[in-house]
Amino acid sequence: MPIKSPSDILPLGSIIHGRYSDYRIEGYLYQDGFGVLYKAVSPSRNGMAENEFVIREHFMYRCSSRGDDRCTVVTPEDLEPTVANFLSMFNIVPRFRQPRRGL
């Protein structure tokens, strides 16, 4: 689904401060009824290369809006259980690579 309105999305170059890294919004991928998918990179540190990520922002375009700062998502209080459910479903869980066996 295309972006409904430019005011629905974070400005390019916005920095999202995560638990383990910061992420810079590089582009927009998709918007559906539950949120916006962004292409993001984790800026290089200590000579390490940038890593690309896809980040989903909970933004229900039919009932959410942006705050005056163009970053904060404003959602009606009666939808708080939906927001809490979203956060629990999309909580980032570290994934560890399994060692390759016998090549």
Average pLDDT, the chain: 76
pTM: 0.65
Over residues 18-71, the pLDDT tens digits come to 888 899 999 999 888 778 899 999 976 776 778 888 988 888 777 778 888 888
Over residues 2-20, the pLDDT tens digits come to 566 767 789 999 998 888 8
Q: So what's the pLDDT on residue 96? A: 43
Q: So what's the pLDDT on residue 2? A: 58
Rounded to whole angstroms, the Cα distance separating 25 from 10 reads 8
Q: Percent helix, strand, coil in the chain (nearest 5)?
A: 15, 35, 50
